[in-house]
Amino acid sequence: MKVSEYIKSGLKNYLENITSDYKLLGEAQEKIHKIRCFIKVEDNIITDVKFNSSKRCKKLMAIADLVCEKLKGQNLNQLSIDEKEILSFFEEEKDKDKLSERLNLVKKAILN
């Protein structure tokens, strides 16, 4: 899938303003790109994940949205992100290096 197609289908996990019932999971910044990830947890299981970002980078937003979907249901103490799965989802996208960079930024926010 192309990033533009994913964006058109609607971001499920992007929120401009996070409400107080979410807690910060982590944040990361690289040059002008910044991302913050927020979670709801019940019995150490992630029930919901939301993100926001400072710049409107479509690649960052699409990857972050997909990663948020993959984190739902995971144990908070054993988070994992399958890089190959995420990148292969966007295999039609031309600029693979930028996709990898954006995925690494999302991983920094979540796994650090």
- 55-70 pLDDT tens trace: 789 999 999 999 999 9
The percent of residues above 90 in pLDDT, for the chain, comes to 92
Residue 73 has pLDDT above 90, yes or no: yes
pLDDT score at 55: 74
Tokens found for residue 81: 């992100």
In this prediction, residue 54 has a pLDDT band, given cuts at 50, 70 and 90, of: confident
CA-CA distance, 76 to 101, in Å (whole number)?
A: 24
Domain boundaries, the chain: 3-111
Q: What is the 8-class DSSP label of residue 100?
A: H
CA-CA distance, 70 to 103, in Å (whole number)?
A: 13
- pTM equals 0.94
Fold (CATH) for 3-111: Sufe protein. Chain: A (3.90.1010)
User: Are 15 and 66 contacting, i.e. CB atoms less than 8 angstroms apart?
Assistant: no
